[in-house]
Structure 1
Amino acid sequence: MTFFKKAFLLLLSLIIFFSFAGCSMKNDSETLRVAEVTRSIFYAPFYAAMSQGFFEEEGINIDLTTTWGGDKTMTALLSDGADISLVGAETSIYVYAQEATDPAITFAALTQTDGTFLVSRQKLDSFEWEDLKGSVFLGQRKGGMPQMVGEHVLKKHGINPHQDLELIQNIDFGNIHTAFASGTGEFVQLFEPQATMFENEGIGHIVASFGTESGTVPYTGFMAKQSMIEEEQETLERFTRALYKGQQWVEEQPAEVIAEAILDFFEDTPVELVTQVVDRYKSQGSYATSPLVKPEAWDNLQLIMDQAGELPQPVDYETLVNTTIAENVMK
């Protein structure tokens, strides 16, 4: 078991032990506290729903906090520090495996692919996955979803990530792009906007998308505790209806319009860069166009986790995914 997973499960065990069942939100409250795992252009439809006033139309005020990490995000949810979490679906499986009495349930999808890209230090006239064999590959942190997806894609192309290349995965998430820029690795797996920034600056060149290669997965979505879903379904339906409006709006609008709409969430990022990243994610179908998580995406998630040796136990789709809310909103 990886250090990442041990720490995550230990923290969850403590929170589950001390937390009590039930929702922290009062029936007469219209403010929803949302804990997001990170701040990312990857989440554009959610920010667009906020900026376009769709939540206000549904009588909801969003109190948004960035918790910077899956463990911290789930801790906020399970300890009633947040009503809703925006986080990867794999975390709900880890919680469930700890025999949580009030498990985290995904009720709305936000992203439906991995969000990382393969960046080459050298500009290649053509790229084949075979080019990775014998190379120094700077991957993501072991035990995290990006690394699991990365290994899944390499294996799909007949590459053993632990034998066919020199895999570096002991660098903290926030320092991976810095390490590559400093000369470590011939290839690197990067999130946006670093991948596009490196391409613009000539530091590296995007040669493949892990999102395209790994297929549809419930990569990031909105979760609530089971008790809240049972007690506050009408409120969560209004939340999801606003999100759905944002998803449809992003689907219909050009990248430059979306970038302007969400720019306040990325004050230090040039609008031109935000536009490029939005366009890249839109073009490969990373943004979910509806809040419904599909069974095949859930199965693919567990396959990826299992191949990486990080699936604590298989969990049925119906156990940790609520489709009623999304289906009601989409009628």
Structure 2
Amino acid sequence: MRLFALVSGTFLIFLAACGSIENTSIKLGEVTRSLFYAPQYVALEKGFFEEEGLDVELQTVWGGDKTMTALLSDGIDVALVGAETSIYVYAQDSNDYAINFAQLTQTDGTFLVAKEQQPDFEWEDLKGSSFLGQRKGGMPQMVGEFVLKQHNIDPHNDLNLSQNIDFANIPSAFASGDYDYVQLFEPTASVFEKEGNGHVVASFGEESGHVPYTVFMAKQSYMSENEDNVDAFTRAVYKAQNWVEETDPAEIAEVIQPYFEDVDLDILTSSIERYKNQGSFATDPILDEEEWNNLKDIMEEAGELPEDVPYKDLVNTEIAEEVINN
């Protein structure tokens, strides 16, 4: 009896200990709150991170420079931000620069929105117009300039280009200002259409091709010291990517609506459908070399590439490849 009681007591203690095990905490900082990042919110809401033993704390940092500052100062562990920011940091001779390890979006996420309806829009129509652009050096602006130049439009000479509005204030500035065109992400573009404040006439994502637009990255030191965490994080992202790829936009919208409480469900659904149709959501976390080179071409065309950073220096695909193969 004593032996039975001892064994039973030990077993109960073991169960209690197992029950008290906590998930590993990861502080994740996103550069902005965007429907463009739908698979990330799916990973959070569907419990994919928790399944991998992670407790992911999401915060919106608002801006690429602020996001990288938070990452480099250990305010966050992982950043979701444009891959170009890792190049900027590397070029500053950082001793502990950021490594891109999992890609989330693979096209530009902005749409060209006109103040007036233009059913027969041609890119040539932009010449001489008042264009509200994005922040200089950021991916939206660089991709925008790249696409415009492909259509023989010099953004600095053929347009009345404005770049002095903060990212968060661009939609309201366009709605109230005397601008003809603007670059907008979803769901803002669809909201503008619904309210009659603008009309989508073209997609920069379709025009620019595949590019590592938004990527999860972490410092070298964090990745070397927390390899298991990064592996688990990437597995959760890949689960979410597969789920988004296989799921109807309406169901995706319902899952991520808590992150966009002020947006109607029908707008969320149509926005997700628009992104899915143009292949904006990456279907796996691998950032390939062709995409990296396309990014550098875009940066160089915009005059923002500080140096030719080798793919192997700033991109780690081993984790993503292992996740996919297993």
TM-score (norm 2): 0.91
1:213 maps to: 207
CA RMSD of aligned residues (A): 1.2
SS in 2 for 1:221: strand
1:19 maps to: none
1:260–1:271: 8 Å Cα contact kept in structure 2? yes
The one of 55, 59, 63 aligned to 1:61: 55
2:23–2:55: 8 Å Cα contact kept in structure 1? no
The one of 306, 314, 320 aligned to 2:314: 320
- State the distance in 2 between where 1:141 and 1:225 align: 25
TM-superposed CA distance for 1:183, in Å, is: 3.8
Q: Deviations over 1:23-74 (max 9, x none)?
A: xxxxx96111111111111110011011111111111111111111111111
Q: Deviations over 1:110-143 (max 9, x none)?
A: 0111111001122122111111112222211222
TM-superposed CA distance for 1:175, in Å, is: 2.0
SS in 2 for 1:33: strand
1:151–1:161: 8 Å Cα contact kept in structure 2? yes
1:174 maps to: 168
- State the distance in 1 between where 2:209 and 2:51 align: 34
2:114–2:198: 8 Å Cα contact kept in structure 1? yes
1:87 maps to: 81
2:285 paired with 1:296: no
After TM superposition, the structure 1 = structure 2 runs for residues 120-269 of structure 1, keeping only pairs within 5 Å, are 120-269=114-263
Runs of 4+ in 1 over 2 A off after TM superposition: none
TM-superposed CA distance for 1:213, in Å, is: 0.7
> What letter matches 1:69 in structure 2?
G
Q: Which runs of 5+ in 1 are unaligned?
A: 1-27
> What letter matches 1:109 in structure 2?
Q
TM-superposed CA distance for 1:84, in Å, is: 0.7
TM-score (norm 1): 0.89
> What letter matches 1:48 in structure 2?
V
- State the distance in 1 between where 2:134 and 2:79 align: 23
**Number of residue pairs matched by the alignment:** 304
SS in 1 for 2:179: coil
TM-superposed CA distance for 1:165, in Å, is: 2.1
- State the distance in 1 between where 2:32 and 2:160 align: 29
- State the distance in 2 between where 1:260 and 1:125 align: 31
1:113–1:211: 8 Å Cα contact kept in structure 2? yes
- State the distance in 2 between where 1:158 and 1:229 align: 43
- State the distance in 1 between where 2:172 and 2:226 align: 44
Q: Which runs of 5+ in 2 are unaligned?
A: 1-21
1:271 maps to: 265
SS in 1 for 2:58: strand
> What letter matches 2:238 in structure 1?
Y
The one of 28, 33, 37 aligned to 2:27: 33
- State the distance in 1 between where 2:242 and 2:144 align: 29
2:33–2:60: 8 Å Cα contact kept in structure 1? yes
- State the distance in 1 between where 2:171 and 2:262 align: 17
